Chains A and B, each alone.
Chain A
Amino acid sequence: MEIAFYLAAAVAVIATVFAITNTNPVHALLYLIASLLAVAMVFFSIGAPFAGALEVIVYAGAIMVLFVFVVMMLNLGQAAVDQERRWLTPKAWLGPGILCGVLMIEMIRVLSPTLNGGIGGSVIDAKMVGIALFGPYLLVVELASMLLLAALVAAFHMGRHD
């Protein structure tokens, strides 16, 4: 199972790099879906099958399909791809790339010597998550439902023609 974790992690990082560098929105979305599926594999390999299933169903299945629908509604053509290509010059990548690289190296150095413990030794199944979710976290579930209702009303209000 270790090899599954490292392979899925490599796929996730490579697919994310392609997703943020691609000029075509649909291709970038497909790379992002590949990245999310790889992260779901990471969840399965570290013993969180419920999180992995939710990642596939909700993230890759619902949220990304919403993105695909919006890209289809916008009906972007070759002009949008050409404009992206004009914007994405190597000079535009240089400054943010250096900043994010420094941040990444710092995070890796901070994380590396600490808490040595293995993950994935035990499986946390959906039953344990459900007991925690509807026991001590019940108020948070109610707040999440309020958030979803607010998002529904806001999306309906802003999405309609005026």
Chain B
Amino acid sequence: MTTTEIATTAVATVPLEHALILSGILFSLGLLGILVRRNILFVLMSIEVMMNAAAVAFVASGSRWGQADGQVMFILILTLAAAEASVGLALVLQLYRRFQTLDTDAASEMKG
């Protein structure tokens, strides 16, 4: 028995729809967070939740067909999340420094 056969027998299968439903629920929760919260810190956290949900969908779909492409896309989503978090948190610091608040409505006026 080779190692892949051992792995196949050891790991039972879960229907793909259940993983996609989990992804959909997490995405909806992240969207709800973005719509409801006014604090920019929580908005950024909700964006992380939504990207994580997309990553779950990619990894589950890649696992369904036994291909590594899903995990490659997961690594790219991870890169995007890291870049977004660093720029977003720098913006949070600037917002707090200029307006002394984390309310997103404080920065609603566009003036140079």
**Binding site of A, secondary structure by majority: helix, strand, loop or mixed?**
helix
What range describes how many residues of A lie at the interface? 35 or more
Q: How far is the CA of A35 from the CA of B26 in the complex (A)?
A: 10
Q: How far is the CA of A154 from the CA of B10 in the complex (A)?
A: 47
Q: Which of B13-32 contact A (CB under 8 A)?
A: 13-22, 24-32
Residues of B within 8 A of A122 (CB): 4, 7-8, 11, 63, 66
Q: Which residue among A51, A67, A161 has the maximum number of chain B CB atoms within 10 Å of its CB?
A: A51
Q: Which residues of B contact A (CB under 8 A)?
A: 4, 7-8, 10-22, 24-33, 35-39, 41-42, 44-46, 48-49, 52, 55-56, 59-60, 62-64, 66-72, 74-76, 78-87, 89-94, 96-97, 102
Q: Which residues of A contact B (CB under 8 A)?
A: 1-2, 5-6, 9, 12-13, 16-17, 19-20, 25, 28-29, 32, 35-36, 39, 42-43, 45-48, 50-51, 54-55, 58-59, 62-63, 66-67, 70-71, 73-74, 76, 80, 84, 87-88, 92-93, 95-97, 99-101, 103-104, 107-108, 111-112, 114-124, 128-129, 131-133, 137, 140, 144, 147-148, 150-152, 154-155, 158-159, 161
